[in-house]
Amino acid sequence: MKTTCFGKDHHLKIAANYYNVMLAKDCDKMASYLHENIHFIGPLAEMHGKDPVVLAAKNFSQIV
């Protein structure tokens, strides 16, 4: 099995980039950070899969 180890700075940059595109309401770019089998659990909904999560993010960004 091949594994890759990244430093914590690498992961922090990815997280910061994800939240920056979320704040910019760029849901297509945000989707590029999500795994196809994402399991989202929030206070109002639970979703399985990338497409429902991205759709919810798009709808939410139009409201806020």
pLDDT tens, position by position, 9-26: 898 999 999 999 988 999
Q: What is the pLDDT along the chain (64 residues), one digit of tens a residue?
A: 555 667 778 989 999 999 999 889 999 999 999 999 999 999 989 999 999 999 998 988 888 7
Tell me whether residue 21 is in a domain.
Answer: no
Tell me whether residue 9 is in a domain.
Answer: no
pTM value is 0.74
The residue written with tokens 């922090």 in the block is 12
Tell me whether residue 55 is in a domain.
Answer: yes
Q: How far apart are CA 30 and CA 17, in angstroms?
A: 9
Is the CB of residue 56 less than 8 Å from the CB of residue 45?
A: yes
Consecutive H or E run containing 40 = strand 39-41
Q: What is the mean pLDDT of the chain?
A: 89
**Into how many domains does the chain fold?**
1
Tell me whether residue 1 is in a domain.
Answer: no
Q: Phi-psi region for residue 25, left (φ > 0), alpha (ψ -120 to 50) or beta?
A: left
Could you tell me the residue range of the domain that residue 44 belongs to?
A: 28-64
